[in-house]
A and B are shown apart, each in its own frame.
Chain A
Amino acid sequence: MSISRRKFLGWVGAAGLSTTIGKPAAAATNKQFTGYPKSFAILHDITLCVGCRSCEAACNKVNELPKPDKPFTDLSVLETKRRTTTKTFTVVNKYDNPKYPKSPVFYKKQCNHCLEPACASACFVRAFTKTKTGAVTYDSSVCVGCRYCIIACPFEIPTYEYDQVLTPRIRKCTMCYPRVTEGLLPGCVEACPMEALSFGKREDMIKIAQERFRKYPNRYVNYIYGEHEMGGTSWLYISGTPFKELGMREDLGNTPAPQLTAGALSSVPMIVGLWPVLLAGIYAVSKRKEKIAQTEQEQAVASALVTDRSEPSQPEEES
């Protein structure tokens, strides 16, 4: 009897748990964050990039990064696919162009500055901030060095100073936050000789992109990468080559990263609130069961004793 009751309580608990864990928070809200109003974005027109690496050189200079092994004028580095590192916040990679094999495609990679950044949502000390300029900045003065931000980033951007003993930091593009707040252009944008990079309000950048699609419909894949990816980013890309062929993930979806964990986190108050009640209930049930068993035993013993006494013919009386 009491076992089935206990089982029942268990099932209720399990059912409660399963409804609270793992549901996307979107199911419980109609709010959507579409970025700070009038925040900035950078539009990268991949069809205009010639792979000169001027942006890389400028980035290195404005961020005061260490000198690279090979100078920025050496274009042989384009032959290998590179990723961001602690010493390079942006890299230009070369890809084959199926349409015109003689003119390869160049794509510049750096932090995309998500509207709702995975790194910021994953950080347990709030070291990352999505600023109103659009830049996602990092504060090393609170960073513990757990590297969950690197795990969380869907674009594989943040890097970590594994060789630093006492002061390892996360390193990544800052969208030139210090320069932008002074009214200057980001280093890479300023340096680009081909105007492959445009800087301005995010909604204007989207308009420019759409304008180019309209003017040169044959030149572009009709899609702005970054407008909706992971809830939208402050770097936007337009290209003549399918994005997938440039190593850009097309399967990221439009769900902002924080929403992926919001459901699980929202179950915390429910567990804290309900679990003690449920467990105390189970405890009470098992206590009561014990008590009933004890009373029944006592009664059985008492009645046995009574029958024993009423039958004097039995000499051996148990104590």
Chain B
Amino acid sequence: MAQVTTAERKSIFSLFNLIALIVLGVGVYITYLRFTGGLAAVTNLSDYNPWGIWISFDLLCGVALAAGGYVTSSAVYLFGMKKYHSAVRPAILTGFLGYALVVLALQYDVGRPWRLPYPLFVQQGTTSVLFEVGLCVATYLTVLFVEFSPAAMEWLGLKRARNLVVKLTILLTIFGVVLSTMHQSSLGALFLIVPSKLHPLWYSSYIPIYFFVTSIIAGLSMVIFESTLSHRFFAFKMDETHLKEANGVTLGFGKAASYVLAGYFAIKVLGISSGNQWHYLKTGYGTWYLVELLGFVALPSLLYAIGVRVKSPTLIKWTSVLAVMGVILNRFNVCLIAFNWQLPASERYFPHWMEIGISVFIVMIGLVLYRFIVTRMPILYEHPDYKDAH
């Protein structure tokens, strides 16, 4: 991977700063409109389409793409794959930021955000899948915060507290996997209630399992993708261990992702068979379904396998982009494109530019926070005072 010189780095960062400033400015303006004019002022949502991209992208994709935290920490701490240790902290950090931003996005989407704690503390609707999602996301955000906190404490020099939290690692990791299994699958289970609205090719009683398995794919692929970006822009922050292990992480995660994608392909085909939905493949939606299944599941599985076989980190890195896009495409299909498929085109939804503006704004906040943290806290390197802990 090409290293960026100091001068280049400065110009890239100043360009990034400029873009960030514009995006954040526009975001603040839309935020003002949203909280003074209501959802109608900034969205194309309607009574037929109550969920737009703030749910399909910010919530569904956000949670799936933040799965790297539980995937990496369980691989390293529970499965004993110590050679990937340097990937844990960046993955936990992105997981934490990802979930925090999901919660931020929900403040825009729900009508009365200050009531978001209501399902937990005022009146519990336990028959709702959304209740499970809310409960797990709230708890898991807390778990991720605690898992991330040692890095911050090392930075702040809070040695005692840091050592205490590190002792909880295994417990927290198990917590993380349990909670992630539940809410990743529940996000899919949200759609179990709409067999009449979601196209039969995407509606399946297995949809919770599909969502869970794709979260693993997203988690693995995002770790590869992020590490590519980090190497491009933050290589100067990485210690020798991180740089040395990076190729191993790419190859190992690529291999795992290839297997999981293959398994996912198999259960998708099984789902079509068990529902006997083959005849839909001949329709327009069927073609679109095949694009998703072949182009964004089978193809990345194959490319990952080739990349591992010929030991090409470059191929694996590009494949990770394809796989991440595949997960995003899947969430868009389930929540928007194949949802309400029976409605006439005039009643269908297309996002307002300001909805996209808020989504970009929130991703930008994530990037800025990520940069703030990795340039200060021991994320991409081990803190010299705590080397023994690893």
Contact = CB atoms under 8 A, between A and B. Distances in A.
A146 B46 CA distance: 13
A33 to B, nearest CB: 13
Contact of A165 (B37, B173, B193, B194): B37
The residue in B37, B39, B110, B193 that gathers the most chain A C-beta atoms within 10 A of its C-beta is B193
B365 interface: no
A144 B118 contact: yes
A12 interface: no
B13 to A, nearest CB: 38
B252 to A, nearest CB: 14
A154 B209 contact: no
B130 A146 contact: yes
Interface size class of B (residues with CB under 8 A): 35 or more
Interface in B107-151: 109-113, 115-116, 118-119, 122-132, 134
Given A144-B118, A271-B181, A286-B78, A253 B50 contact: no
A151 B50 contact: yes
A162 B47 CA distance: 9
B196 A142 contact: no
Given A146-B130, A151-B51, A125 B196 contact: no
A190 to B, nearest CB: 27
B125 A125 contact: yes
A121 interface: yes
A152 interface: yes
Interface of A: 6, 17-18, 21-24, 83-85, 118, 120-127, 142-148, 150-152, 154, 156, 158-168, 249, 251-253, 257-258, 260-265, 267-268, 271-272, 275-276, 279-280, 282-283, 286-287, 289-290
A162 B178 contact: no
Contacts, number: 193
Interface of B: 35-41, 43, 45-48, 50-51, 74, 77-80, 109-113, 115-116, 118-119, 122-132, 134, 170, 173-174, 177-178, 181-182, 185-186, 189-190, 192-197, 204-209, 212
A164 B111 contact: yes
Contact of A152 (B132, B178, B193, B206): B193
For the complex of A and B, the 6 pairs showing the least CB-CB separation, nearest first, are A145-B111, A286-B80, A147-B50, A168-B111, A22-B205, A162-B40
A148 B128 contact: yes
A279 B177 contact: yes
Contacts of B51: 147, 151
